[in-house]
Chains A and B, each alone.
Chain A
Amino acid sequence: MTRVRTGELVLRYVLLLAVLALTVGPFLWQLSTSLKGPTEDIYSSPPAFLPQHPTLHNYARVSETIPVWDYAFNSLKVATANVVTNCVGAALAGYALARLRYRGRRVATLAFVLAMLVPVEGIVIAQFTTMRELGLNNTLLGVVLPGCIGAMNVLLMRNAFLNLPYEIEEAAYVDGANVWQRFLRIAVPSVKGTLAVVAIFAFMGAWDDFLWPLIVLSDPSKFTLTIGLNYLHGTFANDERLVAAGTVIAVAPLIALFACLQRYFFRGVGEGAVKG
């Protein structure tokens, strides 16, 4: 019995390590390429997995080639704005849909459900036309606006508020708390977890987005990191070390964020199953 279980355990670890090599290996190869110096052969066969003389030279070069730190700052601005607007806007609208009684509430809920179902890829051209009409094409504000209060986040917040016991708010109501006090002091503090999920996905969504910034931004000085990387790849495609350094700069912050806050990344998708 024990031998069978040991065997199974060994098999499990072998499989886990194989999948690990497949999922994380490509990132490590990119990191390794970015650390290889100009004299080192990056095309060798059999491949050299580790750089012989690790150097940060390529990171200095990438910032000489494209304004990579400006792009990173643009991405940070867009992502931060997206977090703030989504948290505030989705909490407010979610509360209105879940708790407040007024005529037209069902229509409002339906509007958010419909908006969630619209495939964004199909409306980017019309969104771009709208931005041009507003004079916001080729601005970072134009990058942020279409997703600044996601319908899905509103519905997530609505469900979180609906799951709160109503009695507490009723008690506060009787005690004379007005709607803003009930919202800020009782409801919002009780849904912090969902709010954190909204914040993280808003950050990740904005930092990683590609199609929309590609369409709305045309001036290379306003590029976000993803568009900048595409530009770098298009212009210096054969300089693999340079592109590798650029991708590492783009992905490192998110991997760090994920490492620190993973439970929120997994939250809502079966906590019991995910806890190790």
Chain B
Amino acid sequence: MLMPSTGPRTRTVRVRRQLPTSPWLFAAPGLLVIGAFILYPFMSTLVNAFTDRRTLIPGEFVGLANFRELLHDDMFWTGLRNSALYVLGVVPALVILPLLLALLVQKNIPGITFFRSAFYTPVVASIVVVGLIWVWLLDERGLVNALLETIGVGRVGFLSDQWLLLMSAMAVTVWKGLGYYMIIYLAALANVPRELHEAAAVDGAGAVRRFFTVTVPAVRSTMALVGALSSVAAFKVFSEVYLMAGPSGGPAGEDTTLVILVQRTGTGLTGRVGYASAISVVVFVVTVALMLLVLRADRRSEV
């Protein structure tokens, strides 16, 4: 506690001179940006959902009219169904496949760094690039169909059938996400004590048995995290379906998702901002519910 005799005095002087301004000066740019461009738009989305606001018309308070209209809007139900199906299709694949992939690249064998990086490449590429690559691959005359024809299966209309198109988009989402979640799992696997595996091996447990009795319990909370992250992202899917099915989500819009609907309803000079905001509110509510659901399932399974 020995200090030079001048220390305490300069200290109080400095504290008094700096403290009132500089902390807020440091935080101000960040607070300003998130305030103006994230939190304010969020609040105004909540407010606009109860108005008939349009792009060029301020609009008036209409109570629950937008939500009542949603109930009778077939397009909304189609979007909700497709977004929900997207979660059901994508999430199990993104929880399990990257874990298997992480186990494959975990062991340090020669060249493994190259493979890890290569598997991450789709994550780095823009979703537009990825979408267009797959539109060409899955084209009626594209590579996948050429290969299918060569082996005698015949051509498949991946991008023309409503359901095949939705499944193809899901496959693209999984393909792009694999590397990202693989890295998350690699970090979790690094924390699994090697002794656990060795002990199980000594007890005569095979690779499959060890996977279920050692690996899965050890990374269970990571699986819940991946489940939460991927389900929220899947429910908000936009780009994959937009690029593969077109701006209107397929010829009659039967592949539309909720976010495509938000984008299509709310933009342009005649955009129905109020109605699009009501759809956004549904997106918020389901997103939060999905997160809580996955994290709660995790807690229950740990008890």
Contacts and interface: CB of A to CB of B under 8 A. Distances in A.
B238 interface: yes
A243 B160 CA distance: 20
A254 B126 contact: yes
A176 B183 CA distance: 44
Contacts of B243: 230, 233
Contacts of B201: none
A22 B179 CA distance: 12
B143 interface: yes
B150 A100 contact: no
Contact of A20 (B7, B37, B115, B191): B115
A244 B136 contact: yes
Interface stretch (B38-46, B71-79, B162-170, B208-216): B38-46
Contacts of B202: none
A124 to B, nearest CB: 7
Contacts of B187: 269-270, 273-274
Contacts of A273: 106, 186-187, 189-190
B161 to A, nearest CB: 18
Contact of B133 (A12, A30, A115, A225): A30
A1 B274 CA distance: 69
A145 interface: yes
A102 B19 CA distance: 7
Interface stretch (A50-58, A60-68, A90-98, A189-197): A90-98
B122 interface: yes
Contacts of A127: 37, 41
Interface stretch (B24-32, B61-69, B85-93, B294-302): B24-32
Contacts of A118: 38-39, 42
Interface string B182-202: 011011111100000000000
A111 B45 contact: no
B124 interface: yes
Interface string A256-276: 011100100110011011111
B267 interface: yes
Given A179-B18, A208-B126, A270-B186, A126 B263 contact: no
A89 B30 contact: yes
Contacts of B188: 270
A202 interface: no
A154 B30 contact: yes
Give the interface size bracket for B toward A. Answer: 35 or more
A47 B104 CA distance: 30
A217 to B, nearest CB: 11
A123 B30 contact: no
Interface residues of A, number: 101
B129 A125 contact: no
Interface string A1-45: 000000001001101100110111011011001000000000111
B153 to A, nearest CB: 12
A33 B30 contact: no
A35 to B, nearest CB: 14
Interface in A219-276: 225-226, 229-230, 233-234, 240, 243-244, 246-247, 250-251, 254-255, 257-259, 262, 265-266, 269-270, 272-276
Interface string B147-177: 1011000000000000000000000000100
B33 interface: yes
A24 B109 contact: no
A151 interface: yes
B33 A148 contact: yes
B119 A112 contact: no
Contact of A121 (B30, B134, B236): B236
Contacts of B270: none
A211 B27 contact: no
A96 B136 contact: no
Contact of A100 (B26, B104, B141): B26
B284 A102 contact: no
Nearest to A22: B175
Nearest to B150: A46
Interface of A: 9, 12-13, 15-16, 19-20, 22-24, 26-27, 29-30, 33, 43-47, 88-90, 92-93, 95-97, 100-102, 105, 108, 111-112, 114-115, 118-130, 132, 145-149, 151, 154, 173-174, 176, 178-180, 183, 204, 207-211, 214-215, 225-226, 229-230, 233-234, 240, 243-244, 246-247, 250-251, 254-255, 257-259, 262, 265-266, 269-270, 272-276
8 contacts: A33-B136, A46-B150, A97-B27, A129-B44, A151-B34, A243-B136, A270-B191, A273-B189
Cβ-closest 8 pairs across A and B:
A270-B187, A276-B113, A93-B30, A273-B190, A126-B41, A125-B266, A96-B26, A208-B126
Interface of B: 3, 7, 10-11, 14, 18-19, 22-24, 26-27, 29-31, 33-42, 44-45, 48, 55, 101, 104-109, 112-113, 115-122, 124-129, 132-137, 139, 141, 143, 145-147, 149-150, 175, 178-179, 183-184, 186-191, 232, 236, 238-239, 243, 247, 259, 262-263, 266-267, 271, 273, 276-277, 280-281, 283-284, 287
Given A9-B109, A208-B126, A274-B187, 11 more contacts: A20-B118, A27-B125, A90-B30, A111-B34, A115-B38, A125-B271, A125-B276, A149-B29, A226-B128, A265-B120, A269-B184
